[in-house]
Amino acid sequence: GTARKERAPMHGSSDERTRTGMSPESLKRAFVDSMFYVQARYWEVATPHDLYMAAAYTVRDRMLERWIRTAETYRKADARTVCYLSAEYLLGPQLGNNLINLGIVDSARQGARDLGIDLQEILDQEPEPGLGNGGLGRLAACYLDSLATLSIPAIGYGIRYEHGIFDQKIVDGWQVEDCDLWLTNGNPWEIPRPLLRYPVRFGGHTEPYTDEHGRFRVRWVPELDLYGMAYDTPVLGFGNDNTNLLRLWHATAGRSFDLQAFHKGDYYGAVNAKVGAENITKVLYPNDEPEVGKELRLKQQYFFVSCSLQDMVRVHLQHAPNLEGFHERFAAQLNDTHPSIAVAELMRLCLDEHGMDWERAWEITRRTFAYTNHTLLPEALETWPVELFGRLLPRHLEIIYEINARFLDELRMRYPFDPERVARMSLIEEGPVRRVRMAHLATVGSFAVNGVAAIHSELVKSTVLRDFHELWPEKFHNITNGVTPRRFIQLSNPDLCGIITDLAGPGWARDAENLRTLEPHADDAAFQQRWQAMKRAAKERLAARIREATGAVVDPQSLFDIQVKRIHEYKRQHLNLLHIVALYHRIKQGTDSDPTPRTFVFGGKAAPGYFMAKLIIKLIHSVAEVINRDPEVNQRLRVVFVPNFNVKNAECIYPAADLSEQISTAGKEASGTGNMKFSMNGALTIGTLDGANVEIRDAVGHENFFLFGLTVAEVERTLAEGYRPWEYYRSHDELREVIDLLRSGLFSHGDPDLFRPLTDSLLQHDPYLLLADYPAYVEAQARAGDAFRDPAGWTRMSILNAARTGFFSSDRAIREYCRNIWQVEPMPVSLAAGNGSVP
């Protein structure tokens, strides 16, 4: 089984305490207690949800002592603190992770068993907080885990969306969105802080005035104000006692608002305004890449940034007379440009509310923020129409204009004969509609800018922020993304966890480089057998889940070839489909040479307004339907789509993969993080030289990775030379036959037009070069299929992948942020010090 280190009781008598003891006995007593006093239920009528809630409160009680002691420690030390500003946190279920980080999984399982309950059934009850779209939001969650684990004083600031990412249903092969209801049955992990609220203002106008020292000042006279209220969620470290804070803001119309508006007699007007205020945190925008530019989205961004900065200012002023040392107290990381309005808001706070002069305010602001870029796609770079911006945030627009005026003056001095460069670098894009360029604001207003994988950071410097890199080369960094081995190995793959712990001891979960202990065993027959059994069991679990969710039956003996991620043309799920149709076609033609039975698994959500992505989902289902029911083919090929890919499903999927599809067009995927989760769980990658694939391949060894496709330079050259996809279609027989099959109506009940938008796009423009990469992809797939028929060789490669991916732990990434960007030191919390008990 899994050898997890049981934590010693915290302090002498804690185990006798119902509310804090960690033994199975005290957990059991506390659980029964919570069922009665918190859920107000007795055994005979307790629902599975009641069991979950009682378990969650039992665990939460055990987190509080650490949490409070941590807050006390940081506060006493006046510790430099990292503030991670992110519009998204894709946390995933909390209970299992908190049991792991408290070190009480075995006690909890034992305690539950004594009561006749299966812990897994309780875990399955939890609705997940899906407060994010995909990689960016999940990265924020992994980073919170690592910050706490590394004992770094840190706060995550974000938005408490009432509805997170939509639930994906599949109806007749099409995606249908359903509202996410994660809060409806209550959220036991959050602590509401009704007294921690800040006003946030919108609209109105600004007016100049002269202050008591005769200085020129500006006053913002807003039109609307509302309040942000804090909801706090504790974030446990693993293997230490630090417990950090995730503070999410909820929008309400405040008391003063009620009094004024209601008492004016306009009751319905007041009611409407109240509803309007609360809309701000209603729902997460489900677009993962292209920016849609909705007014409410800008309101969300400003709302959470304003609350967060006010909160930071409040904390700072507990220790200091003014904002002078603000940047020494805090390092604030902007997770993409979504929170980049923070640059203007901190300036406003310094200038308008704290009477600072411009130069000093600008110095403090620039030394507070650092910015992470997550995309190079031009359509995803955030810009806001000046008109909209000025209407919602007139004072901020003024401040941005002033930042820009001063910045452009500097540029003109430096580049007197290059007005085009100056225009390119402006914070304002000129054109029929003038727009604020948020990436430029973030870059100018930060002391550091980083990309999320080596190749991506180079491309940031040579493409989207090229001029800025020429101006400030030392500002630019790379921090390759990472993922937490606690959730993505220990929690999701207990068998692998057991294997590693037996070899490396329990330390690997805090030091993922210890995974290298596996390496010398890669060829050991007995070890290989254990490894294969682990993989086999994970595949059986996924097969059961697939059967439950879709009714499809898949063979755990077949090669599990998996692509799970948001659906996007640049990620090329349809390239994967072209290969599947080619295999189908070969079997039907009797020309097949790759007899490896395969199960192709897809999963991922499409942005609700992204037609092509939704059509790709339909195509996956249509191809699946034809293949899965054709007896001539379905012994060899199966295709399934796992609906509603989310963190919970992901935990079941990554461990079961043999082959991980990371096949984006080179230069388009900033990093990828699923690629790391697969590899850590012993999947081999078939992939392009894009994002972190490049570093994964170098880490695991080129011979243990199925590489294919154009490089970034080749993609550029191909497009520059006038790419004609039609010529690939004409000259490559199998490719032509595959595309013709899609156009024949075979997969669409005879309707030749259904998939026309996809095939036309491929034949006419093919902006993501699927046809150019097709021959190389199919060839790499053949190599993978061949390799899988040698179990010992494959298992060796699988072990080496897991052994060599320690670098991709988010602990390593956070260490790099701490050292190279934030300049922040660990501050371990000790429960043993002091009396350590709750009074």
Interface with ligand HBZ by CB under 6 A: which residues?
133-136, 139, 287-289, 291, 374-375, 380, 452, 481, 669-673, 691
Nearer to ligand HBZ by Cβ, of 692 and 803: the residue is: 692
Nearer to ligand HBZ by Cβ, of 638 and 677: the residue is: 677
What is the torsion angle, in degrees rounded to the nearest 10, for the CA atoms of residue 815, residue 821, residue 826 and residue 827?
Answer: -150
Nearer to ligand HBZ by Cβ, of 60 and 565: the residue is: 565
Residue closest to ligand HBZ (Cβ): 135
Dist CA 227 CA 473 (whole Å): 40
Minimum distance, C-beta of residue 291 to ligand HBZ, in the bound complex (Å) = 6
Minimum distance, C-beta of residue 375 to ligand HBZ, in the bound complex (Å) = 6
Nearer to ligand HBZ by Cβ, of 338 and 574: the residue is: 338
Minimum distance, C-beta of residue 193 to ligand HBZ, in the bound complex (Å) = 27
Minimum distance, C-beta of residue 374 to ligand HBZ, in the bound complex (Å) = 4
- The CA distances from residue 649 to 84, 347, 373, 677, in Å, are 26, 43, 28, 13
Minimum distance, C-beta of residue 668 to ligand HBZ, in the bound complex (Å) = 8
Dist CA 817 CA 566 (whole Å): 27
Beta pairing, strands 559-564 & 598-603: parallel
Dist CA 223 CA 212 (whole Å): 26
User: How many C-beta atoms surround the C-beta of residue 43 within 10 A?
Assistant: 12
Nearer to ligand HBZ by Cβ, of 59 and 159: the residue is: 159
Minimum distance, C-beta of residue 371 to ligand HBZ, in the bound complex (Å) = 13
Nearer to ligand HBZ by Cβ, of 669 and 773: the residue is: 669
Tokens 């049991």 map to which residue? 99
Concatenated DSSP letters of 571-606: GTHHHHHHHHHHHHHHHHHT-------EEEEEE---
Residues 6+ away with beta carbon under 8 Å from 531: 499, 682, 795, 798, 799
In the three-class reduction of DSSP (H, G, I as helix; E, B as strand; rest coil), residue 193 is classed as: strand
Minimum distance, C-beta of residue 446 to ligand HBZ, in the bound complex (Å) = 17
Q: Which of 79, 83, 824, 814 is nearest to 450 (CA)?
A: 814
Nearer to ligand HBZ by Cβ, of 132 and 254: the residue is: 132
Minimum distance, C-beta of residue 568 to ligand HBZ, in the bound complex (Å) = 8
Residue type, 512: A
Catalytic residues: 374, 565-566, 571, 673, 677
Structure tokens at 116: 């006749």
Q: Which of 656, 654, 636 is nearest to 646 (CA)?
A: 654
Bridge partner list, 208 = 218
Instruction: Identify the DSSP state of 837.
Output: S
Per the rule left: phi > 0, alpha: psi between -120 and 50, beta: everything else, 355 is left
Tokens 């020129």 map to which residue? 216
Phi, psi of 278 (to 5 degrees): -75, -15
Beta pairing, strands 130-131 & 89-90: antiparallel
Minimum distance, C-beta of residue 654 to ligand HBZ, in the bound complex (Å) = 15
Dist CA 605 CA 168 (whole Å): 7
Nearer to ligand HBZ by Cβ, of 303 and 362: the residue is: 303
Q: Which of 248, 249, 244 is nearest to 63 (CA)?
A: 244
Letter string b/e over residues 315-350, b meaning 16 or more CB atoms within 10 A of that residue's CB: bbeeeeeebeebbebbbbbbbbbbbbbbbbbbbbbb
Minimum distance, C-beta of residue 139 to ligand HBZ, in the bound complex (Å) = 4
Q: Which of 683, 452, 669 is nearest to 565 (CA)?
A: 669
How many residues appear in the chain?
A: 839
Nearer to ligand HBZ by Cβ, of 287 and 446: the residue is: 287
